[in-house]
């Protein structure tokens, strides 16, 4: 049996499945017969159909080998990616002492605009520059910014705090070299999905504590922000919605390694005593996501600390929707909204 990510991607491989994903919402609901409802929320029929297809392709594996998950993600990324977002130019870079990175530049974008340092999701264990390539293209084009995606070290080969160290170093490098990247050094933001959202929040907090340059904006897409507490959403959506409780534990074990202090704010920025001074934030959660409640609590804590925050719950969606924008109308709308927030957050001063 294949890892869960591979099953989800393989479900979209055939033309019949893709055709069903394009059907009108009412037709999709009739196909599924009984809607999925939980916690007063109704799952988008596209998501319900996608999850049902994935379950039929292959049931989930609780403890897959890391190399198998990585192989399947890379082999199947083209399936869920769909049409490549254009016109966006890319070029490879090395940053912060040799870390691979990729710069995305929308065609015709003048110099002096914002730069987003992007950290991909994947539970600190999987994911690459390629796995989030189309998402970075989409954000760059729709937000009118340059995007620098960084290939930070992954666990279990490099457990915590290696990813944090890389993420902090990449942001510092981006600020220092912003002008050379045709960006405004005052408009360097951070962002990412899931584990990447965690790293973005941690980078922002560490920069705020350090007193040096801090991100101008942070884009947090269903972030993990607290390793210490199991909230209600983790129980509500423990199974059946792509990111399972078992898989969260799998990611955490690999990322933590021998580290035992789950309250370390470089793991759990929600537990920071003082969040004042953090950058303006757009934080989006998914209604059917076990990480939903911790992300929303983090947004409320930021707001209580006086940080300008927009919290948006995409009620109908599941964890991972940001990479599904080319196969789901509902996901695409959510990512468009995030890109609009990024555009506003890194808008050049008048």
Q: Which sequence positions are flagged as catalytic?
A: 194, 289, 319
197 vs 296: CA distance, rounded Å: 13
Do 330 and 131 contact (CB within 8 A), yes or no? Answer: no
342 vs 282: CA distance, rounded Å: 8
Do 120 and 193 contact (CB within 8 A), yes or no? Answer: yes
Secondary structure element (H or E) that encloses residue 235, with its range: helix 232-236
140 vs 220: CA distance, rounded Å: 16
Which distant-in-sequence residues (6+ apart) come within 8 Å of 71 by Cβ? none
Alpha helices in 117-194 (DSSP H): 133-143, 162-176
Residue 181 CA neighbour count, 13 Å, CB half: 35
The owner of tokens 């995409």 is 314
Secondary structure element (H or E) that encloses residue 222, with its range: none
């Amino acid at each position: 049996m294949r890892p869960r990510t591979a099953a989800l991607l393989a479900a979209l491989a055939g033309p019949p499945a893709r055709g069903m994903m394009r059907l009108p919402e009412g037709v999709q609901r009739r196909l599924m017969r009984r809607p999925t409802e939980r916690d007063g929320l109704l799952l988008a029929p596209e998501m319900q159909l996608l999850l049902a297809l994935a379950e039929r392709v292959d049931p989930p594996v609780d403890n897959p080998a890391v190399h198998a998950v990585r192989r399947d993600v890379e082999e199947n990324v083209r399936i869920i990616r769909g049409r490549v977002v254009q016109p966006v130019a890319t070029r490879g870079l090395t940053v912060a002492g040799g870390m691979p990175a990729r710069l995305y530049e929308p065609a015709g974008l003048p110099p002096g605009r914002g730069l987003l340092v992007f950290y991909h999701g994947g539970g600190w264990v999987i994911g690459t520059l390629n796995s989030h390539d189309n998402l970075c293209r989409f954000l760059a084009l729709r937000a009118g910014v340059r995007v620098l995606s960084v290939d930070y070290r992954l666990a279990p080969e490099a457990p915590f705090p290696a990813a944090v160290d890389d993420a902090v170093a990449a942001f510092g490098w981006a600020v220092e070299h912003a002008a050379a990247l045709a960006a405004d050094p005052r408009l360097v933001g951070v962002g990412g999905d899931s584990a990447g959202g965690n790293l973005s929040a941690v980078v922002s907090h560490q920069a705020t504590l350090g007193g040096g340059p801090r991100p101008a904006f942070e884009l947090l897409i269903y972030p993990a922000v607290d390793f210490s507490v199991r909230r209600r959403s983790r129980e509500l959506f423990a199974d059946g919605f792509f990111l399972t409780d078992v898989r969260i534990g799998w990611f955490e074990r690999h990322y933590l390694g021998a580290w035992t202090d789950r309250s370390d704010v470089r793991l759990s920025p929600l537990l920071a005593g003082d969040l004042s001074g953090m950058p303006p934030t757009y934080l989006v959660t998914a209604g059917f996501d076990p990480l939903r409640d911790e992300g929303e609590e983090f947004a409320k804590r930021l707001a209580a600390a006086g940080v300008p925050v927009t919290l948006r719950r995409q009620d109908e969606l599941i964890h991972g929707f940001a990479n599904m924008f080319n196969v789901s109308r509902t996901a695409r709308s959510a990512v468009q909204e995030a890109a609009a927030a990024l555009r506003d957050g890194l808008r050049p001063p008048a």
